[in-house]
Structure 1
Amino acid sequence: MIRRAFCFALVTAAASAADMTHFEQRIRPLLIANCIDCHGPDKQKGGLRLDSRAGWQTGGDSGPALVPGKTAESKLWQAVSYSDRDLRMPPKRKLKDSELADLKQWIESGAPDPRDEVASSSGSGKSARADGSFWSFQPPKPAPVPGVKNTAWPANDIDHFILARLEANGLTPAPDAAPAVLQRRLAYDLTGLPPDLSLPVPTKPEAYEKRVDELLASSAFAERFASHWLDITRFAESSGGGRSLPFKDAWRFRDYVIESIRDNVPVDRMITEHLAGDLLPAKDAAARRRQVTATGFLALGPTNYEEQDKGMLRMDIVDEQLDTLGRAFLGLTIGCARCHDHKFDPISARDYYALAGILRSTKTLKNYTDNVAHWIDTPLPLDGEAETALQKHEQQVNALKDQIAALKDNLRDAGSADLRSRKNIALSDLPGIVVDDSAAQKVGMWKRSTSYAPYIGAGYLSDNNEGKGEKTITFTPKIPKTGRYEVRVAFNAGPNRAESATATILHADGEELKGVKMTTDSLKGLQFASLGTYRFEANGQGFVLISNAGSQGYVTVDAVQFLPADETPPEPLAAKAKESPTAARLKQQLAELEKELKALQKNQAERPEAMSVADDTAPEDAKIHIRGSIRNLGATVPRGFIQAALHGSVPAMPADASGRLQLAQWITSRDNPLTARIMVNRVWHWLFGAGIVRTTDNFGSTGEAPSHPELLDHLALKFIEDGWSLKHLVKQMVMSHAYRMSSAHGGAAAQQDPDNRLLSHMNRKRLDAECLRDAMLTAAGTLDRAFCGPGVSEVKAVDANDQKIQNIEYGYQFLDTRRSLYTAAFRNVRHPLFEVFDFADINQPIAQRTTSTVATQALFLMNSPKVIEQARNAADVVLKSSPETGKRIDTAFQNSLQRGPTEKERGQVREFLESSQSGNASADDVRDLWARFIQTLWATPEFRFLD
């Protein structure tokens, strides 16, 4: 009963943490921006206040505003959804669909609201709040290793701290775990796989230490702890959200983590590379590849790339990055300070925007103008001769592409190459829909010119290199048929033309901003530049606007052409009668060059790319966003760090760089009181089943206090002294006597310490989803042990505007048998076993997973086609092991439970097999019978739990 209550409490705590994160990031800003002015401390329309939980619970004139868990019955939802004709809130505009979805999720999850304070019109009600003196903001303090009465029990310093607390409370440690139990525990904890049964069970201390060293050196250890690391870095292979875009190169970040752990790269170095790897010097191409790939940490978050409010998108990305690095590396809920000073911890809004300035000075997207945004794909260098060969290949490919583009221009831009010899080109000579400058709407003084031929119509326009930012020209087409059109702008090129003029394209799916390069090395006259292909609706509101804002040099405009992309464009009138010899020759040349390009590309692999970030060319400090609104800006805050956590020297913030490198240096400084503590506590949680601080991502005042504060500081300082070595830290813990205790418990410990905070015995742990799947594959003999490399081969380069791209995720079939670490990590669709066995939400850092025991888990193990398939494979292994039933039973137990059956179990299995099998059973019937028996083993608590 005690254990059940404890498990329920953990489940509730984990769920509450996720709900509160949603409230702080989405609901509180929404209420502040849209509701509090009319339903806050200064004004209460209809008697309703929404600035505290008590406010909406009490409600206004018509009663409580919310019915938690019941959206349809909640008056607030009826108002914001505009379902009530007489009650629509906010009255001036309906909330965005994304805001309504956030609000609906909050209500349906029970409307969790941490605003306990009773609202008062004076605003004086405040909750208890930690300050810089709070324990986690103080540097770790070295403590002497405590003495103990039972001096024979401790195996290392860890045990002294554990035993001293036990003895002080009149408790004794549990006896040692049986060698076979310890072998299974060690194998799963360090590798995530069952123990190798061909190796002897270590019974002596020196044999145990040797086994620990072997496991730490294995690739399986790197994979297992990479799985933990990917949890806290919210690794995924798609963006999530509505139009979920697959990340084709996310696997490179995963492999970076695996290889770093395998090579025992110091944890502080890994964190530095995550935040600023692209800014670090690289000794060679291999180092450059890994460092750039590491910054994928900042790019891999859940992002709504379709967000049309680009200012909001930019700030949402920064907020998500801050929330992730805060919880992952600092154990703080930084995101709460986006709208206001943190309610409980010493993190002010100024601290938040000091950090936000660093990440706002970092480019995470290619640009903030595309209708559907896109992350940055950074080309990676190769080694030595391979890089030289690839550069030569790229030069050849680019040269061919330039030639092909020039030929296409000659054939298509002016109807045919012969038209280029004319002084004047009529609109009817060009294919598609052509809008001449004479029909465009002009703002500012544009000069008409006929200086350089050819030109379309009566001439072309020039801004005369004057009045920058004061002149625009808008081309509005009459689209006869809804469809996709390539938009091409005609201009007069030359050496003194603008390096970049700005073109805005309004189309059916949004708005795009493009640059047009008008300068050339020598005067070439009329040129066409493609602005991309977009969807336009018949008689819809679409246009192309050319501006001279920010340009240097002459901006010229002649016409804008809209070419149907879904059909072959009609030949120009001049070429209808008979194709000119020049055009025929150019077409032949084009076909030959395209054939040559195809052959060249076939013979050489493309350059690898990685998702990454880059420093902005113009870093700047951020302004405080009052109430979190991007349109309500306050004072500018110099880029910096969390003031309450500053100790010792602090890296100076450069004026010409984002400050990401300095942020990484501060986070990994030995003077930072948080990072080392956070990391050792996480490892303790992974190995012991509960952290010294059980709220592993919250070291603030709303988190739990450490059960052994001196031990936590001791481990943190030792971790730093040992060079932030993960393997050394893990070995310390698993070599302790505390780790080797039995999980059996009772007596005084069960009464006095039911949660086992004093660690009088080992915690019993449920195997996580990856371990369960990998254990089945191991027993079945089908586990593919391929190390690293991509897991989702179907994902290639992504066209973010292609709505069909999300079908890769929603229609994905999980057919691989590699370790679960490599299974496709899509945000909206996970492996079915992961969904059932509490993999958790990868839209945020997973500090600790919920561990539930529900009926659907048993049903899954009984009925899942994938489980049945692997059970049949496992049956094949058992049947091939021996012709004798007794030995087959032994093999089945060993392969699934890593032990032999008891005599009673052996008899029960024999009885089951004999009673279920007829005399003329086929080989398939026998196989299915053994498979059902193996499924029974997999459904036992012994298979699913670790003693």
Structure 2
Amino acid sequence: MPNLTVILLLGLINTTEVTADTHWSLQPMTRTAIPNNSHPIDFFIEQKLEEKNLKISPPANRSNLLRRVSLDLTGLPPSPTEVKAFIDDPRDTKVVYAETVDRLLASPRYGERWAQHWLDVIRWAETVGFETNAERALAWPYRDWVITALNSDVPYNRFILEQIIGDTVGADAALGFLVAGPANLAGQIGRDEEAMRSARQDELDEVIRTVSQSLLGLSIGCARCHDHKFDPILQRDYYGMQAVFAGLKYGERRHRGQQNNAWATQVEPAEKQLTKLHHQLEALRLKHGLRPALKTIHTEHFKPIQARSIRMTIKATGNGKPASLYEFEVWSTDQQNVALASTGAQASASSFALANQSRHFENLIDGLIDKRQSYPWVTDKPGPAWIRVDLTQVATIERVVWHRGSTMLADYEIEILPADGRAQVDWQRLVHTEDRLPRIDDTRSADKVNLRNLTLEQTRTLLTLIDSVRQQADKLAHLSAGPQVYAASFEAQPTPTWLLRRGDPMQRLEKIAPTIPALLGSMNLKSRVAEPHRRIELVKHLTNREHPLTTRVLVNRVWQHHFGVGLVSTPSDFGRMGATPSHPELLDWLALEFISQGWSLKKLHRLIVNSRTYRQSSRPRAQALRVDANTRLLWRFPPRRLEAEAIRDSILFVSAKLNLKMGGPGFDFFNQRGGLSDYTALETFEEEGWRRMIYAHKVRMQAVDIFSAFDCPDSGQMRPHRTRSITPLQSLSLMNSPFVNRQARFLAQRVRSEAGDDSKTQIDHAFALVCSRPPKWAEKKALLKLVKQHGLEQACRVLFNTSEFVFIQ
């Protein structure tokens, strides 16, 4: 990859020199012949090593190997019982190890471990990010879908299919993939045309980046405003991909499945119960002589009458809050709004809230409903308030219309000044609510409701029945909507996609048909093709066995998480600015073998972890270090620090506090789930907070307690490869964290319970739990002294802080 000096001296790369005919990742995959007696991975690795006069290291000892593969596949260390059984088994290590690999892959813990790697790639989180960072309360079913898919070994081509066209195969949760990234949704940054178009472009851009980088390893998003500066991806290619997803919408959709079917059976009984309650309410209304509730919440009709002024007095709102209105209209019998400031009508009102002083009474009768601004009229407190409109001339009126603000008007009266011309005339009441049944969304208490001829007890009985109707109506609406999931939904006929000059949504050039980048072929679709055929064609393209990128990118990601670095060290960039593969023949062989084995991820794992390359010792050798200090040639197993999630999970596991509850809404690390400020990290967790960290509610743009020191990402950006820093802050965090110290106390309690009161036996058992081996003599001596001086809890703190605990070796 050219460095900055090369770019400055020679200029940017000429993308015409990088084509599908020249760049390595776009070439057809080739399968190299392997000798019959060789493991394919070891064959390719040893070939490269021989070129440097190097050899694979001897096998790791049994305890190290078991700990390595357990952490790799499940993110949890082996128990002392498992270690002892593995070490003591008299059979050949390869046989015992292969059985262990099968057991680990069959464990539900496997899906939880490897789902986190995928969620990193697509920067999945449960808030939207940006200025609002609002919560996505129902995003978690996608996380659960990924875990289930991995545990079930869903073929990777099916894994892709469900995430792009899941709505066609009953996999609605899988569509969370397309809307996993941050999104500044339309309307959040403004409601004018330019802001709405810009927000729409931004949300579709996130979809394109998710799909192209995670599945193709290409930065197609870089061609949004101009042709790609390094890869042969044109700007029109970008908008061709955008057209594939032009019908996509962010938000919640119905989540079909077992839960949905169960809910569907409850709809009819709920409808019958609601009908029964409505009959009871109607009978009670007739008994008390009340008029029916107002059907249209913002309109009052009355017999035509001449008036020169009209006044509405609001005595109470349905939720007890101050009254607020956007607009007030008075309509004549000839269907004219006669309450318009532009025709001379004048408005006045009882009061303005102090925070609303910039609004003017004229806003109430300007004929415009501008919900982008504060309400034109907001009263300063709950309780009686009035608004008056003096008409330009006497008019025959028949209805009043008000556009609701944040409150429902529940108790009010409407009066007029008649058109008899006298200076002093009493207001004449036209409409009031004292003889009208309250609406079901009226939540006032009985003592706040004024109904003529009803006692307080009768009012209370009536409101109790209304409350039952409201609750049953809500239940029916909930059941009818079905269980929901935050995932992509789609319009049947998407709007046209335009090529935009410099990416400016206000500068449209020409309509673009849905397609893939030209360097990968074409989908041959018309610009008006309906949903979901655009996405179906994309899936066919991505899962084509001849596709040069899909399986190369995937097997490279799997390799990376077993060895720390992929065969291509830039896992989401297989373009010109990405790295070239260290072992290109091996990459192709694995990609083709992956396809021939039914796109099975578990078979790929078995192939990799059963190789001598994976099973070798991690011990350094001076001569090899001089030749290959970064271990790219894999002359030893490259040790690496665990991710934050695996460290936390392992701490809970060895202290016997890990809650293995799977699925469902996550636990919280913070005192709130959305917004940009006032986040306070929780320091104390109980059983629900002791679940695996993948089940934590993921908040964008917030560091997670001590685990941010271990490079836990905030999902603001894609993380195809996590940083693995080594800093003093990590040790300080593990030593001083209230969470870790509490778990150290729990570990000490476990050790005492299982090993008894003898300090030597306690140290042996603590070492077995934390490090999966017995202590060396010097280690045991030092810990005995520490236990004698400061207690077993402090020894457990020290063990949590060892490199051996937080590293895969």
Fold-level similarity (TM above 0.5): yes
TM-score (norm 2): 0.79
Shift of 1:848: 0.5
**Amino acid aligned to 2:352:** K
Candidates 611, 623, 633, aligned match of 1:736? 611
The Cα of 1:168 is off from its aligned counterpart by 3.1
Quote the offset at 1:579 in angstroms. 3.6
| Candidates 740, 751, 757, aligned match of 2:632 | 757
Query: In structure 2, what is the equivalent of residue 618 of structure 1?
Result: 493
Match of 1:662 in 2: 537
C-alpha distance in structure 2 between counterparts of 1:828 and 1:705, whole Å? 32
Please give the secondary structure, in 2, of the residue aligned with 1:678.
helix
Select 2:262's aligned residue among 366, 373, 386.
386
Shift of 1:609: 0.5
SS of the residue corresponding to residue 634 of structure 1 reads: strand
Q: Helix, strand or coil: the match of 1:422?
A: strand
Distance 1:115 1:296 in 2: 39
Aligned partner of 1:201 in structure 2 is 86
Indicate how the Cα distance of structure 1 residues 581 and 720 shifts in structure 2: closer, same or farther if over 3 A, else same.
Answer: closer
Question: Does residue 293 of the first structure (1) align with residue 176 of the second (2)?
Answer: no
**Residue 863 in structure 1 maps to residue 736 in structure 2:** yes
Aligned to 1:233: 122
1:605 and 1:363 mapped to 2: Cα distance? 21
In structure 2, the residue matched to 1:273 is: 162
In the TM superposition, residue 849 of structure 1 has moved relative to its aligned partner by: 0.1
- Give the length in aligned residue pairs: 708
Q: Which amino acid aligns with 2:407?
A: A
Alignment partner of 1:481 is 2:352: yes
2:18 maps to which residue? 130
Paired residues for 1:172-191 under 5 Å? 172-191=55-74
Q: Is the 8 A contact 2:542 2:550 kept in 1?
A: yes
Which of residues 746, 753, 770 is equivalent to 1:873? 746
User: Counterpart of 2:53?
Assistant: 170
1:906-945 alignment runs, 5 A limit = 906-914=780-788, 916-917=789-790, 929-945=791-807
Distance 2:249 2:70 in 1: 42
Three-state SS of the structure 1 residue aligned to 2:182 is coil
Q: For residues 747-798 of structure 1, what are the alpha-carbon distances to aligned partners after superposition, in whole Å with 9 as ceiling and x for unaligned? A: 43222222222211111111110111011111211110112121148999xx
Secondary structure of 2:769's counterpart equals: helix
Give, as a single letter, the amino acid of the residue that structure 1 aligns with 2:20.
G
Partner Cα distance (1:212, 1:569) in 2:
71
Partner of 1:96: none
In structure 1, which of residues 831, 835, 849 is the aligned counterpart of residue 722 of structure 2?
Answer: 849
SS at match of 2:222: helix
Structure 1 position 807, deviation (Å): 7.8
Alignment counterpart, residue 158 of structure 1, candidates 23, 41, 64: 41
Deviations 1:246-292 (A, max 9, x none): 111111000000111111111111111111211x24xxxxxx2xx11
Counterpart residue identity of residue 691, structure 1: G
Letter of the 2:591 counterpart: A
Q: Which has the bigger relative contact order, CA under 8 A and spacing at least 6?
A: 2
Cα gap change, 1:682/1:436 in structure 2, threshold over 3 Å: closer, same or farther?
A: closer
**Cα gap change, 1:596/1:699 in structure 2, threshold over 3 Å: closer, same or farther?**
same
Aligned identity (percent) is 29
* Contact map agreement 1:377 1:611 (CA 8 A) in 2: yes
Question: What's the secondary structure of 2:64's corresponding residue?
Answer: helix
SS of 1:738's partner is helix
* Equivalent position of 2:773 in the other structure: 899
Identify the match of residue 641 of structure 2 among 757, 763, 766: 766
Distance (whole Å) between structure 2 residues aligned to residue 356 and residue 598 of structure 1: 43
Question: Residue 428 of structure 1 aligns to a residue in which SS?
Answer: strand
C-alpha change, 1:378 and 1:686, in structure 2 (3 Å) is same
Partner Cα distance (1:277, 1:175) in 2: 47
Asked if the contact 2:26–2:549 (Cα under 8 Å) also holds between the matched residues in 1, the reply is yes
Is residue 2:227 matched to residue 1:341?
Answer: yes
8 Å contact kept, 2:164–2:535: yes
Aligned residue identity for 1:140? M
Instruction: Report the Cα offset of residue 834 of structure 1.
Output: 2.6
Conserved? CA contact 1:769–1:838, under 8 Å: yes
Per-residue deviation, 1:377: 3.6
- Provide the rounded CA distance (Å) in 1 between the counterparts of 2:345 and 2:223: 45
CA–CA distance in structure 2, aligned partners of residues 628 and 601 of structure 1: 44
Letter in 2 for 1:824: H
1:257–1:933: structure 2 CA closer, same or farther, 3 Å change rule?
same
1:188-219 per-residue CA deviation (whole Å, 9 max, x = no partner) reads 00000011321212562111111111111110
How far apart are 1:425 and its partner, in Å?
9.1
Aligned-pair CA distance for 1:411: 4.3
Gaps spanning 5+ residues in structure 1: where? 1-12, 18-52, 55-113, 282-287, 365-374, 439-455, 463-471, 485-502, 511-533, 540-555, 797-802, 918-928
1:627 partnered with 2:502: yes
Cα shift readout 1:551-602 (whole Å, capped 9, x = no counterpart): xxxxx99633456729875444548999448765897756523224436767
Q: In structure 2, the residue corresponding to 1:460 is in which secondary structure?
A: coil
- Normalization by structure 1: what TM-score? 0.68
Cα distance in 1, alignment partners of residues 682 and 629 from structure 2: 44
Deviations 1:132-174 (A, max 9, x none): 1211011211221268xxx6xx4x2111111122223321111
Query: Within 1, Cα distance between the matches of 2:219 and 2:800?
Result: 39
Shift in CA distance, 196/633, structure 1 to aligned 2, threshold 3 Å: same
What SS is found at the alignment partner of 2:402?
strand
Q: Relative to 1, partners in 2 of residues 1:361 and 1:730: Cα closer, same or farther, differing over 3 Å?
A: same
> Residues of 2 paired with 1:841 and 1:691: CA distance?
23
* Counterpart pick for 2:252 among 362, 365, 376: 376
Give the CA deviation at 1:946.
1.2
Deviates more, 1:875-884 or 1:195-204: 195-204
Equivalent residue for 2:370, pick from 482, 499, 506: 506
Q: 1:263 aligns with which of 152, 157, 166?
A: 152
Question: What is the CA-CA distance between 1:228 and the residue it aligns to?
Answer: 1.1
Instruction: Check whether the contact 1:233–1:297 (CA below 8 A) recurs between aligned residues.
Output: yes
Letter in 2 for 1:296: G
Cα pair distance change 1:937/1:597, threshold 3 Å: same
The Cα shift of 1:850 comes to 0.2
- The secondary structure found in structure 2 opposite 1:778 is helix
- Other structure's SS at 2:707 match: helix
Question: How far 1:380 sits from its partner (Å)?
Answer: 3.6
Contact 1:650 1:666 in 2 (8 A): no
- Which residue identity lines up with residue 201 of structure 1 in the other structure? F
Amino acid of the residue matched to residue 303 of structure 2? Answer: R
Give the whole-Å Cα distance in 2 for the aligned partners of 1:397 and 1:597. Answer: 12
Could you tell me which residue of structure 2 aligns to residue 839 of structure 1? 712
How far does the alpha carbon of each residue in 1:676-725 deviate from its partner, in whole angstroms, 9 at most, with x for none?
A: 00000000000111111111111111111111111111110111111111
Q: Please say which of residues 884-893 and 238-247 is displaced more in the overlay.
A: 238-247
Once the two structures are overlaid, the 10-residue window that deviates more, 805-814 or 820-829, is 805-814
Deviations 1:499-523 (A, max 9, x none): xxxx97413548xxxxxxxxxxxxx
Query: Which 5+ residue runs of structure 2 have no aligned equivalent?
Result: 315-322, 357-366, 381-397, 416-428, 438-450
State how 1:565-714 maps to structure 2 within 5 Å: 565=407, 569-572=411-414, 574=429, 579-580=434-435, 591-598=464-471, 607-646=482-521, 655-657=529-531, 659-714=534-589
Q: Distance in 1 between matches of 2:96 and 2:241?
A: 49
Q: Secondary structure at the match of 2:370?
A: strand
Q: Would you say the 8 A contact 1:695–1:703 is kept in 2?
A: yes
Deviation per CA, 1:96-118: give whole Å up to 9, x if none: xxxxxxxxxxxxxxxxxx97478
The counterpart of 1:359, out of the listed 245, 265, 271, is 245
Q: Secondary structure at the match of 2:613?
A: coil
Distance between the aligned counterparts of 2:277 and 2:505, measured in 1?
A: 42
> Does the 8 Å CA contact 1:351/1:640 hold for their aligned counterparts?
yes
1:659-687 deviation line (CA, Å, top 9, x unaligned) = 12221221222122101000000000001
Residue identity opposite 1:628 in structure 2: G
